[in-house]
Structure 1
């Protein structure tokens, strides 16, 4: 076996261990996807799906990778409606075959992901009741996140929403989050000056430390106190519908 093959197998092992959906797979179920998967490195700003274009791949992030589903308005303004990291997947997971994407899927924190062609994913769903049920459950979780984001954007302050987003990013990327304030403003759908003021306020409270292109979470407990309830609600729902077994009833994401 060549070194290249060994390295790729190691990377696939990392994907199945590091992504919370893939980690629920038995050896038999894993065999349905693994031959078709390859591990790719995603960079900040990469688009893994584009609105209006057919979805050809599904991406399973692991490590620090974080992908945002973003809706863009006619005037160029954008807002994040969901974010997906090691707990999920992006691209055709909840559809029934090839279909055009509704939202942009943009990489916010770079890192690895396992990529699987849509045809292989649909075949796995047709051959395995476990896979079909797991992705049905994930669609429930993703819809819950989108609905909670809609409520959050309507009723909660920019500071609460920013704190929630930073906590979610910390869960996936660790304490050091590679993120510009301009990118955070786009995610929250607000002006850069508004985000500057919010970040400054969180720094003054000793909750975060912001440097050029980077945010470091200093006081997680304090940040949670300043976030809205949406952060814990979405995490708890993941545990209820998926959890470590893929059948729910345990820990959140």
Structure 2
């Protein structure tokens, strides 16, 4: 095996500067301007703009709608392990009630930190490797709920990993599906994460502003997920309404 190419001399400095820009946005808060970042880090204005443009393109930063400054982007949340509190006894009771009503696996997931974290997995129907759910949201129903909240996100060719022959890896097809998920508040995957297994998921939203806080999912055979019973979906939605005030 050939040795990897050495890192060019200027790249470590550029990488360090990029991290310093991210740290300055965290410290200064949303709305910090390029001029303020340049002054705080004593970086040339041109270098600061170049780093900001790169970080925006990679979705670690976003420009505020009025273009007045910058804030952390969707991918910045993946730089830290989210602290996810365990669900309350009351919330677990709601999920337990759902499990008693269906023969599917029922799982409650948090979206804290911008990633999927299962906080109440069904002990009789384990949801699988939690790392897969966190790393490949495009292949799970819970992940699609999360991705549908950021419709402007653009996936690059090759970014969407194929986990099974059914996994959606075409950015355009995924974007179309996410648009439908956002419209219906219902996500599904049929054999995209594990062959033969599927999942339905609906969002749990805060009662006040409707912000996405969690997802409730039912897992079962892929063929049943492909054509779910309307009564089953309504049962799932009814339990998310009961969960909303307990998780917000």
- Give TM-score, length-normalised by structure 2: 0.27
Larger Rg: 2
Q: Which has the higher contact order (CA 8 A, sep 6+)?
A: 1
